[in-house]
């Protein structure tokens, strides 16, 4: 069974530029999550989708971050414009059903904002 796929693995941009990350969850998983992990900390949930609907985006900085999951499968997370403090690893995870199910994580995208 293929795991959660993410791309790119690394990205370096300058502040005020825009960037987008892509995630393909495990086949059949209804719930998809985007997390931000700052160096030295645990991952923090940014947004949770159930199929193609948003369940929780309370910690998503909506003035600069956006995410979509149009067909209930793949998802993209965008930052526009980026700030220095957005430097982090962005992790995508998926689970079969609700947030109570085991979550499986992708390899992450390491973003550096200069």
Partner 1 sequence: GIQVEQSPPDLILQEGANSTLRCNFSDSVNNLQWFHQNPWGQLINLFYIPSGTKQNGRLSATTVATERYSLLYISSSQTTDSGVYFCAVTGANSKLTFGKGITLSVRP
The reply to whether 83 sits near partner 1 by the rule CB under 8 A is no
Total residues at interface with partner 1 (CB under 8 A): 23
Residue in 105, 96, 102 with CA at minimum distance from that of residue 50:
96
Could you give the CA distance from residue 74 to residue 14 in angstroms, rounded to a whole number? Answer: 26
Could you give the CA distance from residue 86 to residue 83 in angstroms, rounded to a whole number? Answer: 5
Half-sphere exposure of 4 (CA within 13 A, CB side): 28
- Let me know how many helices (H) and strands (E) the chain has, helices first: 0, 11
CA–centroid distance for 87 within its chain: 14
Query: Which of the stretches 15-23, 68-76, 77-85, 93-101 binds partner 1 when contact is defined by CB under 8 A?
Result: 93-101
Per-residue binder mask for partner 1 (CB under 8 A), 38-77, x = binder: --xxxxxx--x-------x---------------------
Least Å from the CB of residue 5 to partner 1: 12
Q: For partner 1, which residue of 29, 64, 78, 110 counts as binding (CB under 8 A)?
A: 110
C-alpha Rg value of the chain to the nearest Å: 13
Q: 50 or 81: whose CB is closer to partner 1?
A: 50
Residues that bind partner 1 (CB under 8 A): 33, 40-45, 48, 56, 89, 91, 93, 98-105, 107-108, 110
């Amino acid at each position: 069974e293929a795991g959660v796929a993410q791309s790119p693995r690394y990205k370096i941009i300058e502040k005020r530029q825009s960037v987008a990350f892509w995630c393909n969850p495990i086949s059949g998983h209804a719930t998809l999550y985007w997390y931000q992990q700052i160096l030295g900390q645990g991952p923090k949930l940014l947004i949770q989708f159930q199929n193609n609907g948003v369940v929780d985006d309370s910690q998503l900085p909506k003035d600069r971050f956006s995410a979509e999951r149009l067909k209930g499968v793949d998802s993209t997370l965008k930052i526009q414009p980026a700030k220095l403090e957005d430097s982090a690893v962005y992790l995508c995870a998926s689970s079969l059903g609700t947030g109570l199910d085991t979550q499986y994580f992708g390899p992450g995208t390491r973003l550096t904002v200069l």
